[in-house]
Every structure is written in structure tokens, then in C-alpha cells.
Structure 1
Amino acid sequence: MKTIRRGFVTGLAGLITTVAQAGSDPLVLWYDSPAADWEREALPIGNGAMGAMISGGLAAERVQFNEKTLWTGGPGSKRGYDAGIPAQSMAKATAEVIARIDREAQLPAEAVAKELGHKITGYGDYQTFGELVLEFPESASPAKNYRRELDLGNAIARVSYERDGVKYLREYFASYPDGVIVMRVSADQPGHIDLGVRYAVPDNRSRNVSARNCRLQIAGALHDNALKYIAAAQVRAIGGRCSDGRDEVRIKGADSAEVVLAAATNYRQHYPDYRATDPGPALKARLDSAAERSWDDLRERHVRDHRELFDRMKLDLRATMPSVPTGKLLVSYGTAEPFADRALETLYFQYGRYLLIASSRAGSLPANLQGVWNQSTTPPWNADYHVNINLQMNYWPAYSTHLEETTGPLFDFVDSLVQPGQRSARQIVGAGGWTLFLNTNVWGFTGVIDWPTAFWQPEAGAWLAQHYYEHYRYTRDEKFLRERAWPVMRGATQFWLDALHVDPRDSKLVVSPSYSPEQGPFTAGAAMSQQIVFDLFTNVIEAAPRVGEAQFGQRVQRAMAQLDPGTRVGSWGQLQEWKSDLDDRTNDHRHVSHLFALHPGRQISLDSTPELATAARTSLDARGDGGTGWSKAWKINFWARLRDGARAHKLLGEQLRGSTLPNLFDNHPPFQIDGNFGATAGVAEMLLQSQQDEIHLLPALPPSWESGAAQGLRARGDVTVDLQWCRGELTEAVVRTGKAGAVTLRSGLFVHRYTFVSLGRDISVPLAGGNERRTFLAEAGKTYLLRRNDPAVPHCEVNRSKI
């Protein structure tokens, strides 16, 4: 068995390496000119807390950078701040709206917002920190062989060109181990590096700039809320001279120059004050430590850390990367050779994983609407955290693509919302437990706004609680379930035990008032509302005995028996969006939120609820394949759950053609990062699913991905899976089990003969549920190989032709 297993793993890795060498690097974005537009063309680097965008200008490199805690608004804001929670209880007004819905069945959004909306002040915006400007000498000579690139595998951006016979190279990375952004400018001939380094920052803050011993520092406070900020860049010249100016550092005649940048604020994720002490000393210590290290040491530490996460999963779709700039590759998508399309799809998938690593690491805030990257003081939607799908969507690929460590900031953030969320539950609804509504910020905002069509979604807390239970389902970490997940899940459930309303029409428990996101009237029991509560109750009932709360679980079970499940088939075969049959078959609204039960929920499946799955398909067909970036990405996941690989792939194509910018950022428009993350998760769903307590191999393989391989997919139950397929048929699977227990594998291809072995012994695998399933008892920490061995197994050659 050891020889077989090693042969498969080595063969797959070798295959991916061979294909990569056949053309351009398959995991590099590259361009042949500087970025002319920040949003569309600049290239992102990040270490979770800090991010930067690389434009690659010739006369000046304007490194726009961010640090996630720099926000206006919140406590101390000159505009005032109340977290969206009114001082006087709104519980009576909420009860009156519920009573009106009982009488009238529907209420206009404007009427409900008039009663329950809240005019907010001091909400705040995520801020650009500014720019670190690297200025180069003017030259009359044109640059030749210009190339600007982002190497996803090493998380390094580069700019290279030739001028007057000298080759210049700039390199940039954001180091998580050292908490800094690092830059180097070099030339292939000595003494040719001259540059100035200075800051450019917005005027909405005070600023004090100093340069001492080639350390350029800027510090001050935001005018709005007096939040303190500081950034410092240590500049060093190799083979030349570094000197301090009044508000800049200059390098002359160097062989190379290095810049190490750190930034911080005195924000603290702690309700209700959100302030820490002066950030200066801690930043100085961090920068001093990084500045003592050589460029090679900093780079090696960064690359090792990044690759430990990024390299866990590989995808090969049997495609070589053509030697054309990424922007041109994107423009040609769908009209170029199939190999080029598959190369772009692979790059886009791994770009989503790269962005998640770069924007969400332990110790920082979670990825926001733009990850960590923002060039504005008034960004779209405040660059905040929308919790009617967007924040949740950011973390859909975390587990399935083997990046579970990136979820730490999400849990820290949600934990910090529980206490203010208890006030919101009490003041706005008159319930116990905790919740929040449509959007939140870094200042514990858990109340409501006054935008009629997007202000009311108290199910948001329940949806966020799903991520805690998904962490347990993937990792089977009992300690996490008891100590971290259960308090959040229990509090979210307590809210709904108090807040659910008995519908006088049928005595079912419903969410009221209920609003299907961004459209329709306020009613009782809209489908998405009910499905989210159903999902929460399902998870709590499963978890309760494991954490010693069986009695609470029984209480939830009794409520579940009375709960309207939010899944019914309407008059034209659709899954109803509302409890009453109000759906218009000509409606093509981008929100298809009433299919939550299909994804990310598990209430609807082709096997257990085929009628509902068919109704979901009917709804998706009616809505069409259009929409904004995040909407198309969600539809990829829907179609994957319906096991329609061709339609899921079509939506992936729509995402690339219509909702992707030249730098591969998702375009809402404008840039909004959840589409990147959602599409990456959707690709993983095509290849492996495990939501129904079985591991389904290649459940929605697109016909255009005829042959390929994937390493490192994660399944619920602490299982890692490698797959290889040929001509649409599974040929090999490696299954690594972290925990002991029964594992069920599913494939529509089990009609063929397969050998299943572990540690050199054939394993007798009994049938479970028919020819499509095999169940075995796994040992912890073992590896199992499933290999097709009948004479008809197809043979696939790798096409190594350069496009």
C-alpha cells in the first residue's frame, strides 16, 4: 500500500509541476504596463492586518496601504454614536408591527422602516492609511520589457523593466510572521538606485512627520474620533548612502534599497470603549525586530509562512498558462482555446484562496467588504461588514479549500458583537439572547439603520452562528464546540426562542416582521428567515448532547416541531420566497436568498427532498444567470449543490466575463471581494461535497473539466481528500482521516471496480445505501486509497502544448 499511495501523491504533484513548466507560471497574474486605475489594475498584497496595492509606476511607486483598525466613527465620534440601538425600548413598536402584519398580511418596506428604522450617526468608514511614495529620478529614456506581476504561490509582487541598459527590479510582500510590509528596489549594475521616500495621507487627520536615522514616521489622530494612528518605515541603502530630509528619506547611488513598513492604531476590539494605549511603543518594537533581519531572512520567513497555507491545496485542470498578460487573458475568456480558459479558471480559484490568506489572519479583524484594501476615506458601503450575506460569504472557502486558520478573526469579531447584540435584542425586539441586523462595523454596531429595503434582518446572528458549527463539523474539535461555539449558538437560539411569533393563520412559529433581502413586502415567515432559524435549531439540537445541554436541546426540539420550515412549492413549481405565493416568474432580482436551505444550509438536497430541489432549480432558472458579482458566485454554489456541473461552470464563466476586473477583483460594481471568495468556494463545491454526512466525490464536475486532479480538499468530519479523474470518470482518490469513525464515500461511478486499501491491507467495504456509497470505519491519522482497477479505465495524456 505504501508504494501505491506514494506513487499517486508523487504522480499528482509531478503532473501539476510539469504542466506549470509548459507555459507561463500558472499562478502568476502579470501585466505589461503600470496600473492606471487602483480598483481595476493595482495588485494586492496583505498580511491580515495590513494590506497594500502595487501600481508599478515608473516615475513614482505610490504604495497605497491600509491597516484594518483605522476607522472613523464609533465612541468619541464628533457626530455622536449609539451603535444603532435606541435609548428607549422599541419592543412595543416591534410588537405593533407584528400585530399589523397579522391583520394585514403585508406591509410596505417604507411603512415598517418608519416605525422601526433608526437614524444613525457616527457609524464611520474604513480608512485608507495613505500612501508610501517611492520617487525615482526622471529619465528621457523609455522603459523596455516592463512587467508587473503578483506571484500567488509566494505572495510576492514584482515590477521589472530595463532603462539605459540597466535592469531594475522591485519586490513587495506583506509578512505575517513579522507584521510588516517589505519592499526592495534593486538593479543589475551597482550604484544605480536613487530614490526618495515620503508619505501622502488624507487631510482628515492630524499629522506629525519625522525622519531620523532613515526611519520615516508619521503619527497623529483622526479628526472625527481622535483615534491615534502611527506608521513608520525603516529605509536602508545597500552599497550607497541614505540621508534624512525634513519629511522624507533619500537614497543615493545604492546597489539596492529596502523599506520595511509598519502601521498601527490604538483601536482595541473591546466593547464598549474600543481603545487601547498609545500604539507607538508596540509598533517601534515590531519594526525594530523586523529591521534587524536581512531581506533574505524576511523573505524566507514570509514565503514559508504563506506556503504552509497556500500549498495545502492544488488544482490541475490539464491546462497550460498562455504567455499573455492576465488582463488580455480575461478579455479573451470564452473565445480562446479551452486550455486558456481552464488556466484562467484555475488562476481565479487560487486567487480567491490567496486573497483570503492576505486579508484574514489571526490577531486581525476579519475580511471586510474589500478584504483589507481600500483607497478612500468614504469607501462604498463604508467598506464595512454586511451580515445579510457578505461577511458570511467571505469565509465560505475557508474550510473546503483547507484554510481553516483564516477563520480566527471572524470568531473573534462575532464574539465581540455578542454583548452589544444582547442590548439590541432587548431594546429592539424585547428578547433575550443576542442578535444583530443588516450591517456592522468595528465599533459593535448591532442595531438598525433606516434604509427601508435593507435594514431588518435579525436572522444575521443565527447565520453567523452557523460558521461556528461548521468549524466543528469540519474539524470535530470538541473543545471548540464546548467553549467557543456553544455560547454563541445558545445565545442566538435564545433570541429566537423568545422572538418567534405564532402565526394566527396556522399556529406555526414564524419570524415576524420578516423581509426577504432587498425586495418584496414585510410579511411573516419569509422563506430565508425561516430557513436560517431552521438551520440554527438543527445545529443546536445536534450539538446540545455533546456539550451537556440535552435539556436545552429538547426545548429547542419542541420549538422546532412547531417551526415553519420555510420550504414550500408555489403555483408555478418554484420554491416560494414568501410564505404566501407572491413570486413573480419574471422577477430577475439578484438576491436568491430563499434558497439558503440549499446553500449554505443543508435542509434541501436532491436525495432527501427531491421535490424541493426541483423547485429550487425552477426558481434559479426564473431568476436567470445575471446579477452582480457576489450573486453570480452564490449561484455557482447553488448549481453545484444541484449537481449540475455544466450550469455551475456557466455561472463561473459569467462571473469572469461580466463581474471580474483586470486584476481579477470581483466587480459588484464597484469592487467587492465576496464574489472572489464565493466563486472559489463554488469551484470546491463542484469537486467535493460533504454537507449531508457523506463525502461526495466529483458531485458536479463540469463537462469542460474532462480530466484533472485536486489535492487537499477538505470534507466535514476532519477528512482531507485528493482526487484524480479522467474523461469525466474518477480514477483515484486518497482519503486522509484526522479522527476515527465511520466515513461514507459517494460517487456515481462506483458501478466500476475499485480497490480500496490502507496500510497494505485490502479493506472489506460494505455497501451503505446502494451502489453509489461505500462506508468504512476509519482510524485516526490514516491514509486510504481508492483506485479504479477495471480494464476499461481510461488513460489521459497531459497536453503540454504551449498556447
Structure 2
Amino acid sequence: MAPARYRGTTFSFFNGILIGNGRTQTVFGGAVNYERLILSEESCWTGGPHEYSSYWGGNVPKDQAGPKQEALARVQQALAEKRILKPSVPFLKDVMGDEEGFGRQVGVVGEIVVEEVDLRESVWGYRREVDLERGIARVQYSVGKTLYSREQFCSYPDAVCILRIQSPTPRSINIRVSLSTPHSTTTAEYTNIHNRLGFKSHLDSNNLTIEAQVAVTTEGATGISLATSPQQIVLLGFDAVTLYYTFGTGWTASAFPEFTNLDPHERLVGVLDKAVIGWYGDLVAKHLSDYGELFSRFRVEFGDASQDQGTVRNTLTTDQLVARSARGTLPADEETYLETLLVQYSRYLLIASSRPGSLPVTGNGIWASNDNIHASISSKFGMNVELQMQYWMAETTDLGETVTPLIDYMEQLLQPRGQDTASLFYKARGWTTHPFSNIWAHTGPLSDTSAKNTFYFPAAAAWLCQHLWDRYVYSQDDKFLKDRAYKLMKGASLFWMDTLVKDRGNGSLLSSPSQSPGHGPFTEGSALDQQLVFQLWNRTLEAAISVVNEKDKAFVQELTGKLANLSSGLKVGSWGQLQEWHLDLDEPGERIAHLGPLYAVYPGDQIYQQEQQQGPGMQADGEEEPTMQELVEAAKVSLRSRGAGSLSDDGNGYEQGWSRTWRAVTWARVNDGHQAYQALYTFKRQNLVSPNLVPLSLSDLSGHVGFGAAVIEMIVQSPRSGDVNVLTCFEGLPERWAKQGRVNGYRTRDGHVVGVEWKDRRVESVEVYAALRKGLVNLRVATLMADGKGVEAITVVMKGSKKPVPFVKDGDILRFTVNKGSTYLVSVDQVEQ
């Protein structure tokens, strides 16, 4: 992948380069004569117990639990009788939570400014880029015959960010380095000792400690360093200057629930001490080894492999790419480059913002709040799609380690506080959480219905548990399942075992009260709630069977009995749609951003294309169960009704970036490549407008991940364990994609690593490395006999051996068994008749 490049003369958030190492992120941007580094730290939040002393994470004191439970019972009784309640019904306010102390992610800790002492006007060859392959940002330019360069990266192994400024011309570096914070500016304490700048300050709202430290090292014996103020160092006549900086807050997850404000000073100084005594080249090498090992695992390419390392050569800077793509005037090869760049850029941002030891990624991304601490944007963990969406590409593109912060967050904060929510609000076992949370472990409902009526969504925990199960199946780590995932899944299942109600008509188990996120009334059993609980219970039962012991037999028996009576949330409505509610309430043509009832298609796996169709069965509610093909067709009807995601569907502006790319990946899962690409095309035209590929609507950062997930899903899918589908969207793929391409490093739900190559809309080879387990592979090669003009000669061999591997061909499905540790090569040659 060639570096992403763009030019800029003045700094703004939208042309800065985003870099990070998990917990800390920087926007690196400026011009010839200065660089501005905006420092963002994920735990820089207002709110919490220090701002609101009676903070209980949105819950209520024990002496108020009774009234809350009674209020919930009244709402459930009303729904049992009336079936529908408008969100404006007054007594719904009685089930709301306490939002005091929720706060928001400020993000910004401070900033570093590097200024040239001598202004330079006759500059040529200015170039700014981030190399996605190496995770390093660079600036390069020349003044006369003197070349200047700046190299910037954030190292995860050393927990430090580094900016190196140098020139091959001796004594040519003359700069001023300053450090500042926008918080408590009158009381902030600055230090400047032996080329080290630092500050310690506090957030005005909750007194949370924030601190940054910058160590400046120089090369060149004749240079001079001057401490001109407590916040500034001037460096004159050096060959090179290197800035090592780190920053943090007094927050730590281990301090739950009081969240004691711990002084970060010793930790930060220790990080710098270790960094500055090392050799710069060693720090770079460790960063490249760590980052490169992750990033290089996966690649998607379209075009001739002989050009530019497997993809078309890009000749435009990123700002030109974005502008011409938005106008629809970008040449086809450059458009293809932009699309593959977006896939890898999504992975780059995930690596930069979610590493073991950090918090998970907020829906907006930590960079969203970093140019103005008083911005109206409220970053938070949105758990009715945004947080989950940030990790949609993690497992399939072999970045499973980046999911660790989400699992830690669930385990350390949501589950312990969520037990209080389950007990106090619902008088239930287990744990739950609602649609929005923060670093202070907010698990109760919100207290405001103004945000599209999304104050209530206890199924958030069930959705989060999907990532636990995915982490298990992609890693095949039985220890993780037994020691961590199962406990969280069991607790989330217990909550629903105690809170579901019986439908008065047929006795099936339904959630109540229930609302489809951002849309419609309160009722019983929204499709999203039911699908999430159905998926959670089935996977928890599967996990229990794997790790069951004597004490859990009673739980397994109880869960099995309740699962038999649970409505799955899969119902086909009166106009052929996939119903959004248990009742047939859908109105055709409603333009809704959220795809609640289509969760079962993606990211769930209850609805999927299959070759063999089963006969109708019976659902828990006694109704005839739709066939899988009927469900697939109903999903398509609902997608078209809600707006397919194309430009023509967005006349009222209801769409957002995340909703467009969610539509795209869902269309891909039902094998409609044309509609999937139309949604991606719309995302590019309306959401990518800035040189650093960040949308102007910052809440749409998660849409980048959806874009990458959709591109990948259009090429290769693993909807269920054992199944691998290749080029199932080939009939709708853009010609420039379908003509030639390859995917390497795709992970399946069995932990296999898959590579695919195709040419002229036909799969030529598939490679399957059984990295973690043995088993049967059902490989669907959708291009077999695609045009009926020839006969395919198919061979399956173990790589390194000419001995054929037995396989069974069933239509376009090839079935063969793989052994752990072996690689299998499937070759498809077309023989003309």
C-alpha cells in the first residue's frame, strides 16, 4: 500500500494526520514553519464521582429501588394491555435513570507547538504523508539546497510518542518548542528543567489530574539550548532534534467504583527516562516490529499485481483523491486506490486507538474532540451500534488483539456496575447496561428522551457479548472462553432469564418494555431485542456445554427450557418485510438510519444465504417458521424500504456515514453487490470531504469501519463456523474490482487464514491455512460455472505436496477436511468445452 499523502499550508483538525498508540493519540499538523501536536488522552473525561458525589453510574440508591421496580411493572402491565405506548407517555419517565455525572470525553490534554525561528518562504518539494505500512507520519521539504524532514510516530511498546526533526545539512535546525494546556490555565503548573518541559493541571469540572511531559534531545556539538520561559525551549544550530512526549490522567479502571484520582507523574517520568536513554533507531525498530506485525497480516488488492505492490499506482495526493471522488471525476484506477486505502486506513485507526491496556474506541473516536475542548460533540460509548461497529473489521482482518480493550471494559466496569442495574431497576440476576456509557461505568438508563428516544436499551449487554463469542471462535481459545467470556455471557443471560415476559396471546417470551433504537413506540419484543437475546442464549448454551461443570447444570437446564419458548425476532410482515417489532407495525417507505431488525443479517448470523433450503418449522410462538430464503427476501424488502443507501435515497438527509456503510455490509451479506457498492459510493461522495479522510460529521468516524467491513464482505465471508464464501457478490461488483484482485490474511470463524485470487470475474485459487484447528471446510466458490461457457477443473492439494486432497463438490460448494497447521490450495482452471 503506497503512503497516504496530502498537502496543506495551515492547520485544522481535518488536514492533520491522526496517530496513536492506544491510550494516547495525537493530531500532527501544521505547515512549513511550524507543527502543532494536539494531545488527546482517552480518559480525559468530565463527570464521575469527583464532579457528582452521589454518582452511581445512572443507578438509584437501594432505598429507591422499590419504586423503580414498581414503575417498571406498571409499564409492563400497560404494554400487556395496550400493546403500544408512545415515548411521550408521562409514566415512562418513571423508568428513566440518573444522568448526573455522566460527563463527556474532552480528550484534549494539551498541545506542543514547534516553530521555526527563521521563517522560510522559498520552499519547494513540500510533502506530508502517513505511511500506513509503517505507522509513521512524515513531513519533508527543501529550502534552497537544504532538505528538512520531520518524522512522527506513537510507540505502543514504549508508551511514548516521538517527533524527530533533522536535516543532512549541519547546524540547520533552529526551532522553538512550547507546551501548553487549555485546562485550568491560571493554576496549571509548568516545569522546564534540563530540556524537559512539563505541566500538571486539572479539569475544571471534576479536578481530574492531567499531565504531559516532553523530553528534548539534540544532536550537534555546536548547538545552543535556551529555556526562555517555563513553557518554552529554543534550540539553535543543531543537526537534529528529537522530542519524546507522553501524557496521561489520574484515571484508572482499577480504582472502580470510587475512581480515586491517582497522580500520573511517576509513571510518565519513568516512560520518558526509559525512552531517552535508548537509541532512536531501536525505538523505531520496536515500533515497526510491533505495528507492522499487526498491520501486515491482511491485504486486499484490486488490479494487476505487477504494479505498485499489487494495486494500481496512485499519482494524486489524498486531498485531490477526495475532492475528485466527491465530484465523480476521479479516474477508475485512482477510485480503486482510494477504496482499498479506506479499508487499510480503517485498520490503521483501529490499531492506533485500541490496544491492550487502553479503553475501547468511542463511537466518535478520541480525535473527534481534540481541536476544541468546548466543542458541542459529546463522545461516549454508544452501545446500540457505534461502539460495536468500531470492531466489525477486527476479527476478519486479523486484529483480534484490538478487541481486548472492549473485553476489559466489559469485565472491569460494565459487568460489576451492571449487576447493580439489574438488581436495583429490575430485581434480576446477572448484569446489564443501557445504550450509552462512559469511563465511570454508567450502566443505567439515561434521563432524557430527546436524543431520538434512545434512553432505554438493556439489550446493549447482549450485543456486546457478541464480541466475546467472536473473540473465542476466531481465536479458538478455550481458556479465554472458560475464564472470561463465559462468565460475562452467563451473567447477561441470567438478566434476560429473569426479565422477559410472556406474550398474552401465545406465551412466547418477549422483552418488555422494548424499543427499536431511535424509532417508533415502546412495545413488547422489538426484533432487535429478541434477535440479540436469541443469539446470546444460544451461544451461552454452546459455551456452557463446552465448559460445563456440576454447579452449572441447573443453569443449563433453566436456560434450555426458556430458550424453547423464546421468540427469535424473525417474522415476515404483511408487505413482505422483516418485522421491526413483534407486532406488525412497520410502515413501508420509512427512512430510518438504524437497521435494528436487520441485525440478524449483519453483524448477526441468523439470516444468511444458503444453497439448500429447509422446510418450514414452528417458532416458539406457535407460528410457522419462515424458510431461510423467505427471511433473506424479507431482509431485502426492509433494506429497500428504509433506503438502500444510494444518493437517490437520501433526499431528506436521514442518513449518516455509519448507517450508509451498515447498509452496504448488510447488502453484501445477502449477496447483492450492486446495492452494497451503491451505499459505499454514497459514503464516499457525502462523508469523505477532508484530506485526512475524516468526515466533517465527526460522529461518523465509525462509518470508516463499516466501509472496510463491506468491501471485505463483498469478496469473502465467513457467516458461520465451517463456512467460507468467496466472491458471492461477483455479479454486482464494479468491473474494476471484478477484473482482477486478491485478498490475503482473511480470518474465518474457525480461525483459518484464507487467501483468494481472481481474474476476469472468476476465482482462480483459494488458500486455506488451518492455523488453529482441524475440521470440515464448506468452501462456496460462487463463480463456479458463472457463465456456463466452460468446465472447471478443480484440484485441492496440501501446500508443498502434489498429493490430491479428497473433496466433495455440491453445486458451487467444495467440502474438504483440513488438519491443524497445514495449508490447502484450491485451484480452479477453466477448460473450454
- Fold-level match, TM-score > 0.5? yes
CA contact (8 A) 1:665 1:673 kept: no
CA contact (8 A) 1:501 1:512 kept: yes
The alpha-carbon distance between structure 1 residues 379 and 792, as it changes in their structure 2 partners (threshold 3 A), is: farther
CA contact (8 A) 1:141 1:164 kept: no
Query: 2: CA distance between counterparts of 1:70 and 1:163?
Result: 40
Query: 1: CA distance between counterparts of 2:265 and 2:121?
Result: 43
Query: 1: CA distance between counterparts of 2:580 and 2:32?
Result: 53
Structure 2 match to 1:91? 69
1:439 aligned onto 2:408: no
Query: 2: CA distance between counterparts of 1:262 and 1:336?
Result: 40
Structure 1, gaps ≥5 residues long: 1-25, 794-803
The alpha-carbon distance between structure 1 residues 664 and 587, as it changes in their structure 2 partners (threshold 3 A), is: farther
Structure 1 match to 2:705? 677
- Aligned to 1:305, the other structure's residue is in SS state helix
Deviations 1:225-266 (A, max 9, x none): 222222100001211222323321221111111100011222
Structure 1 residues 356-505: aligned runs within 5 Å: 356-373=350-367, 374-375=369-370, 376-379=372-375, 381-416=377-412, 417-452=414-449, 453-505=453-505
Query: 2: CA distance between counterparts of 1:753 and 1:585?
Result: 47
- Aligned to 1:273, the other structure's residue is in SS state coil
Structure 1 match to 2:293? 308
Shift of 1:186: 1.6
1:211 aligned onto 2:192: yes
Query: 2: CA distance between counterparts of 1:190 and 1:106?
Result: 77
2:38 aligned to which of 37, 44, 64: 64
Query: 2: CA distance between counterparts of 1:113 and 1:342?
Result: 50
Structure 1 residues 593-632: aligned runs within 5 Å: 593-607=596-610, 609-624=628-643, 625=645, 626=650, 627-632=655-660
Q: Structure 1 length normalisation: TM-score?
A: 0.92
Deviations 1:715-762 (A, max 9, x none): 011100011001111101111002122222122234522110014143
Shift of 1:464: 0.5
CA contact (8 A) 2:322 2:691 kept: no
Query: 1: CA distance between counterparts of 2:376 and 2:410?
Result: 22
1:104 aligned onto 2:82: yes
Q: Match of 2:312, as an amino acid?
A: T
2:265 aligned to which of 246, 271, 280: 280
Structure 2 match to 1:157? 137
- Aligned to 1:562, the other structure's residue is in SS state coil
Shifted more, 68-77 versus 329-338: the winner is 329-338
Query: 1: CA distance between counterparts of 2:782 and 2:10?
Result: 47
* CA RMSD of superposed structures (Å): 1.9
Relative contact order: is structure 1 or structure 2 higher (C-alpha 8 Å, sep ≥ 6)?
A: 1
2:224 aligned to which of 231, 241, 253: 241
Structure 2 match to 1:4? none
Q: Match of 2:385, as an amino acid?
A: I
Structure 2 match to 1:354? 348
Query: Percent sequence identity over matched residues?
Result: 33
The alpha-carbon distance between structure 1 residues 160 and 671, as it changes in their structure 2 partners (threshold 3 A), is: farther
2:22 aligned to which of 48, 56, 71: 48
Query: 2: CA distance between counterparts of 1:432 and 1:749?
Result: 50
Query: 2: CA distance between counterparts of 1:562 and 1:554?
Result: 13
1:321 aligned to which of 291, 313, 319: 313
Structure 1 residues 541-560: aligned runs within 5 Å: 541-548=541-548, 549=552, 551-560=554-563
Structure 1 match to 2:176? 196
Structure 2 match to 1:81? 55
Deviations 1:474-505 (A, max 9, x none): 12111111111100000000000001011113
Deviations 1:39-88 (A, max 9, x none): x2211000001100111223331100112222221121157533111221
Shift of 1:380: 5.1
Q: Match of 1:419, as an amino acid?
A: P
The alpha-carbon distance between structure 1 residues 661 and 35, as it changes in their structure 2 partners (threshold 3 A), is: farther
Structure 2, gaps ≥5 residues long: 304-310, 614-627, 786-791
CA contact (8 A) 1:49 1:372 kept: no
Shifted more, 562-571 versus 740-749: the winner is 740-749
Structure 2 match to 1:775? 815
Deviations 1:292-312 (A, max 9, x none): 122222212111211100001
Q: Match of 1:712, as an amino acid?
A: G
Shift of 1:400: 0.3
Q: Match of 1:335, as an amino acid?
A: T
Structure 2 match to 1:345? 339
Structure 1 residues 501-650: aligned runs within 5 Å: 501-548=501-548, 549=552, 551-607=554-610, 609-624=628-643, 625=645, 626=650, 627-650=655-678
Q: Match of 2:536, as an amino acid?
A: L
The alpha-carbon distance between structure 1 residues 29 and 764, as it changes in their structure 2 partners (threshold 3 A), is: closer
Q: Match of 2:364, as an amino acid?
A: Q
Query: 1: CA distance between counterparts of 2:784 and 2:34?
Result: 60
The alpha-carbon distance between structure 1 residues 554 and 380, as it changes in their structure 2 partners (threshold 3 A), is: farther
Query: 2: CA distance between counterparts of 1:379 and 1:272?
Result: 28
Query: 2: CA distance between counterparts of 1:389 and 1:119?
Result: 22
Shift of 1:150: 1.1
Shifted more, 80-89 versus 608-617: the winner is 80-89
CA contact (8 A) 1:348 1:664 kept: no
Query: 2: CA distance between counterparts of 1:750 and 1:473?
Result: 29
Shift of 1:200: 2.4
The number of aligned residues is: 766
Structure 2 match to 1:797? none
CA contact (8 A) 1:629 1:660 kept: no
1:745 aligned onto 2:739: no
Q: Match of 2:315, as an amino acid?
A: S
Query: 2: CA distance between counterparts of 1:691 and 1:454?
Result: 29
Query: 2: CA distance between counterparts of 1:335 and 1:568?
Result: 44
Query: 2: CA distance between counterparts of 1:697 and 1:708?
Result: 12
CA contact (8 A) 1:737 1:781 kept: yes
CA contact (8 A) 2:33 2:120 kept: no
Deviations 1:121-176 (A, max 9, x none): 22122221111111222526243222211111111111122234432211110011
Deviations 1:486-540 (A, max 9, x none): 0000000000000101111321110110011101011111111111111111211
CA contact (8 A) 2:393 2:705 kept: yes
CA contact (8 A) 1:541 1:554 kept: no
1:170 aligned onto 2:150: yes
Query: 1: CA distance between counterparts of 2:832 and 2:216?
Result: 64
CA contact (8 A) 1:45 1:52 kept: yes
Structure 1 match to 2:128? 148
CA contact (8 A) 2:150 2:164 kept: yes
CA contact (8 A) 2:531 2:600 kept: yes
The alpha-carbon distance between structure 1 residues 378 and 501, as it changes in their structure 2 partners (threshold 3 A), is: farther
Structure 1 residues 703-742: aligned runs within 5 Å: 703-704=734-735, 705-706=737-738, 707-738=740-771, 739-742=773-776
Shifted more, 491-500 versus 563-572: the winner is 563-572
1:231 aligned to which of 209, 212, 219: 212
CA contact (8 A) 2:808 2:816 kept: no
CA contact (8 A) 1:78 1:224 kept: no
Shift of 1:551: 4.5
Deviations 1:381-407 (A, max 9, x none): 531101011111111111001101111
Structure 2 match to 1:784? 824
Query: 2: CA distance between counterparts of 1:421 and 1:78?
Result: 19
Structure 2 match to 1:12? none
